[in-house]
Structure 1
């Protein structure tokens, strides 16, 4: 049997966020360490306690942006029309962006959006839609990688998107989850909350051996806290189990992991994530940062954008800075990357996500330099 059998690679990527349009804009943005937060002008925030987010001026409707990244990722992978026609789509979104403004009987669905997007891109159809909050995109990637590894499909397109809009902004603001000082400060003393951000992205996953690979998805893990509706387990047990499962599936020593792009957004749960990392990875001092400190928290779109920047940064040999850091928090004792990008010491990197309801995901990739 070929040593390529069962291996899953990322062969094409595309992304749009407040950092700009295109994958290289994302890489440049996270390596610059300059946060993209500013006053929201897309809708009225006059009555809100927080008025900042990371938004891209001139961005189009979510459906159009999703269609663009799907087509761009397919082009980046070099897929022919015939190959696209046999490739299914997995989509992670909060719901159909037009549903709130239409009557109950006419409400469009996320499944309908996925089918429409597959048609616009010439794909085989919509295989699955994920609306499981902030682990939506990472769960989709794990499922897609499992399908490819098992030989059930040759390739899958995974797309995910969220554009900062008034409803979710109002909910997070009313719940006092948003940072009051205009900055997201993951793992930092003095952090006051997360800030939302735009993220629309797509990746093509394919069996290794067909074409040039950017990175391999070598492991993934999923676990639940069963602790609280919106708060993570303070001990980080669920996330630790997800990390451990990803490492075991990859079959590597945890010490070989060279970077963790953390879920942390600058909120209460950062300490739980730090506990999970210490529990799962032992005494290993693995460099950690959260790129949410630069591009914001994109809810259902977060996991895919963060996976893309993790792959691109590791390929480039430079690990992103944890922006906004004011000082150490004793509850978040980690090797946080500060001041400037750090040289990558390993091709292996983890991208972590967690969601309301206690859902946790870990994606472990091996980048190709």
Structure 2
């Protein structure tokens, strides 16, 4: 791995709570990702008999969404011994239930000692990453010593039907990022929370950080309402912005947790962006999409993928790019196709893109 790690600056992550199709906690999710064991199964939560795709990565017996998010918040805030008063930034899917869910989360968060929901992010698949970037800016400016970010999405029949009708879901029931024969994405449940804290504030509390947010970048393509810009220029700008904020060269990156939705067009555009930024170094840079294991959680996707990336830095095991059928000659990435238990990356990128051309890059470094 590369030795030119980012300097020890920027905010740190001091708490993390996760609920996924693999159950509560990061450990079962990270273990599944490391072996490429997917959480996809036939949907029984609601009727999918008339759908072209019938699989998703779902909790067997999910709580209400607000309760799921509050559970993740309790796990994130409890172990870190979080002082009271931290603001909460919340990412949710925009629908008729958003206001009510946010209100319930705000009430429950107050019981945990948080200041309540300060902002609600509904910016599609980059919502949670945008909230993390804003939290880092708030902490970095000195306005708050710590900010909590939470996100949740439990797959509902209406969203499932809309994605199925738009032919965005994989017709063969497998999410195959960057693979030949990929045909779309699959949805998944997730509720995640992280504590973003100033490094000196964490040190004063005697808390060992989980990882550091070395840099972050955001961009907008404004290319098409749902199609990605084919050359991936917006993704490339977001990545370069994250690297520049961290003050490091592309060679500092040891692993990329790609957006990798399994869509033929978006995967190719993302691959082109990575080629533009990393050049020849991409030949040996491990890349995978943890969506291939836990599914696409829409507004919560960026946060569950960030959690997986933090777990990679802590445990050293790279997520396997599941669903692989064979190489797409236009992609040309060094994909993680088998377990790599001793990778030990020190710096990793987590990438997300959304309808409307929004792109985010979070550069995470080992603490």
TM-score relative to the length of structure 1: 0.92
Superposed, 1:293-332 pairs within 5 Å as: 293-332=292-331
* 1:345 to partner: Cα distance: 4.8
**1:217 equivalent in alignment to 2:213:** yes
CA distance change for structure 1 residues 68 and 114 in 2, over 3 Å: closer, same or farther? closer
**1:229 equivalent in alignment to 2:225:** yes
Which of 259, 270, 273 is residue 276 of structure 1 equivalent to? 273
Give the structure 2 partner of residue 164 of structure 1: 155
* 1:217 to partner: Cα distance: 0.3
Superposed, 1:331-350 pairs within 5 Å as: 331-341=330-340, 343-350=342-349
CA contact (8 A) 2:154 2:188 kept: yes
CA contact (8 A) 2:317 2:344 kept: no
Give the structure 2 partner of residue 122 of structure 1: 113
Which of 72, 76, 87 is residue 75 of structure 2 equivalent to? 72
Q: Deviations over 1:31-58 (max 9, x none)?
A: 1211110101111111111111000101
Where 2:27 maps in the other structure, the secondary structure is helix
* 1:108 to partner: Cα distance: 4.0
Give the structure 1 partner of residue 4 of structure 2: none
**1:208 equivalent in alignment to 2:199:** yes
CA contact (8 A) 2:66 2:105 kept: no
Aligned length: 353
Give the structure 2 partner of residue 137 of structure 1: 128
TM-score relative to the length of structure 2: 0.93
Superposed, 1:1-369 pairs within 5 Å as: 7-79=10-82, 83=83, 85-95=84-94, 99=96, 108-109=99-100, 111-209=102-200, 210=202, 211-268=207-264, 269-285=266-282, 286-341=285-340, 343-368=342-367
Q: Deviations over 1:169-193 (max 9, x none)?
A: 0000000010111110000000111
RMSD between aligned residues: 1.6
CA contact (8 A) 1:318 1:344 kept: yes
Unmatched segments (≥5 aa) in structure 1: 101-106
* 1:111 to partner: Cα distance: 4.7
CA distance change for structure 1 residues 50 and 213 in 2, over 3 Å: closer, same or farther? same
Unmatched segments (≥5 aa) in structure 2: 1-6
